[in-house]
Amino acid sequence: MDDTIVAIVTALGSVGIVRLSGSRSVDIAKQLVRTKASWESHRVLYGRVIEPGTGDFIDEVLVLFMASPRSYTTEDVVEFQCHGGMVVVQKILTLCLTLGARLANPGEFTLRAFLHGRIDLAQAESVRDIVGAQSFHGVQLALSGLQGKLSSPLKQLRSACLDILTEIEARIDFEDDLPPLSIETIRQKLSELREKARVFLATKDRGELIRSGLKVAIVGRPNVGKSSLLNAWSRTDRAIVTDIPGTTRDIVDSHLVVEGIPITVLDTAGIRETTDQVESMGMERSRLVAQQADLVLLVIDSSVGWTEEDQQIYDLIQTKPIVLVLNKIDLGCYENLPNHNFLAQVKTAASLQQGILDLEEAILHSIKAQKIKEQDLDFAINQRQAECLQRVVDSLTRVQESIDGHLPLDFWTIDLRDAIRSVGEITGEDVTESLLDQIFSRFCIGK
């Protein structure tokens, strides 16, 4: 790639960063920066950005030059570290574009790192996961992927499939010169490889939970303490709390991390019969949010017990996983509860901060998150990688069926090549331009 790209890495906070990558990076930077220091690789230079032509002073900057191939993209890279805020950062970006750089596409810096062999495709996706992580546990998981803890075993899997393919094709081409294949050995190898692929697949759900988190909706009739529960759980005053039914008119959310798992908690408007148009709109949103949530906390007033209104709400959400929350236990606790299939029942007194830890434990137990807590995941695949690995399992299964059906060796090789290609789509050995466009379009511009 001969063109030089530029993008804003960050403009928020006290420091802004603009990054150049490509053969003209240093030339463009030298036209903008006045400095007494020499342009040595991997040294921080102090200087001033001056607009060519007008001589206008733009900003004081620190400049980091990283010469090829010792950079993220393996190209010449220059980073301007200036004062934060969009005005100065945008001006430096515009000057770079004026001097011949091109605005980077989303993820193009990481794409160049992949195309130049610095990282593989699985590692590139881990870069995106680091940026999008919602918890420290998520960052650790992404860093493991960036360090190759997913790529390395996958490449071993692909290599093992290639070895089997080579051995079979050798028999096709030189059958008279080689000893017969050991069918049982091939069966054993295929079984082991298929099991390895299934081990990878088993990490998907846990990985998605750590990356994306859990969406939890708090529902119930008005004035049962839904907003108090949200405030107690998040230890904030996110929701307005009064004794007036119908106070919450819109969805109020709070973001928490419980045992390393990001949880988005959504406090919804109380569901009841009403002629208030605004309240009715809020309740309709509540129903929609409940249907889209991964888990529903159905809150009832423990001092009143299970009511007809509670039953009506349950009928609306009964297809969802539900934890029943008996709130206001400090005011009394009736036991006239229906025999519904709740995942758990938790007693709370939200206004007194009681029962919150029990609620968290019930949620963790309901999603079987203790498996994540008890195991240190070295890696976890994403949805795209899972689809590729499922094709690997299917392909190896078909090879086994071809062996069992006494089909010619050529049939074995067809499905083995499919398995090898599918693994290669994860690590990048076998990848199309359209797939790369699809993956890297989800990155932010500065990466």
The kind and range of the H/E element at 267 are strand 261-267
- Read off φ and ψ for residue 2, nearest 5 degrees: -90, -20
* Contact assessment for residue 345 and residue 329, using Cβ atoms and an 8 Å cutoff: no
Determine phi and psi for 162, rounding to 5 degrees: -65, -40
Please compute the mean of the pLDDT values over residues 381-400 and round it to a whole number.
94
> If we measure between CA atoms, which residue out of 341, 234, 237 comes closest to residue 298?
341
**Higher-confidence residue: 2 or 136?**
136
Apex 417 CA angle, 413 and 419, nearest 5: 120
How many CB atoms within 10 Å of residue 383? 9
pLDDT confidence of residue 100: 94
Show the tokens assigned to 74: 């393996």
Burial label for 215, CB within 10 Å (0-12, 13-18, 19+), is middle
Residue 168, token pair as written in the block: 């079979």
Neighbours of 438 (CB within 10 A): 11
CA distance 330 to 273: 28
More confident residue, 141 or 391: 391
Q: What is the pLDDT of residue 43?
A: 93
Residues 6 or more apart whose CB falls under 8 angstroms from that of 224 comprise 270, 299, 300, 301, 327, 328
- CA-CA distance, 133 to 213, in Å (whole number)? 10
Question: 256 φ, ψ to 5°?
Answer: -125, 165
Which of the pair, 305 or 108, is modelled with greater confidence? 108
**Distance from the Cα of residue 276 to its chain's centroid:** 40
> In this model, does residue 33 exceed pLDDT 50?
yes
CA angle 72, 421, 385 (to 5 degrees): 60
Is 45 in contact with 33 (CB distance < 8 Å)? yes
Residue 55 contacts residue 64 (beta carbons within 8 Å) = no
pLDDT at 120 over 50: yes
- pTM for this one? 0.74
Query: What is the average pLDDT value for the chain, to the nearest integer?
Result: 84
Q: Tell me the CATH class for 124-203+380-440.
A: mainly alpha
Q: What letter does residue 271 receive in the DSSP assignment?
A: P
Task: Single out the residue of 2, 92, 6 nearest to residue 56, CA to CA.
Answer: 92
Q: Is 261 helix (H, G, I), strand (E, B) or coil?
A: strand
Among residues 66, 71, 88, 70, the alpha carbon closest in space to that of 18 is found at 88
301 vs 130, 328, 344, 359, 370, CA distance in Å?
42, 6, 16, 16, 29
- Strand 214-219 to strand 57-66: parallel, antiparallel, or no bridges (unpaired)? unpaired
210-374 carries CATH number 3.40.640.10: no
- The mean per-residue pLDDT over the stretch 38-51 comes to 94
CATH 3.40.50.2300 fits 5-104, yes or no: no
| Helix/strand/coil for 63 | strand
Model confidence pLDDT, tens digit, residues 272-306: 444 444 444 445 565 677 777 788 889 989 888 89
Rounded distance between C-alpha atoms, residue 142 and residue 132, angstroms: 10
Q: What is the pLDDT of residue 276?
A: 45
Lowest mean pLDDT among 247-251, 410-414, 437-441: 247-251
Residues 262 and 381: their CA atoms lie apart, in Å, by 18
- Tell me the average pLDDT across 141-154: 90
Start-to-end C-alpha separation, the chain: 17
User: What residues does CATH 3.40.50.300 cover in the chain?
Assistant: 210-374
Asked whether the beta carbons of 321 and 343 are under 8 A apart, the reply is yes
Dihedral sign for Cα atoms in the order 22, 23, 28, 34: positive
CB-neighbour burial class of residue 349 (10 A; exposed 0-12, middle 13-18, buried 19+):
buried
CATH 3.30.1360.120 domain extents, the chain: 5-104
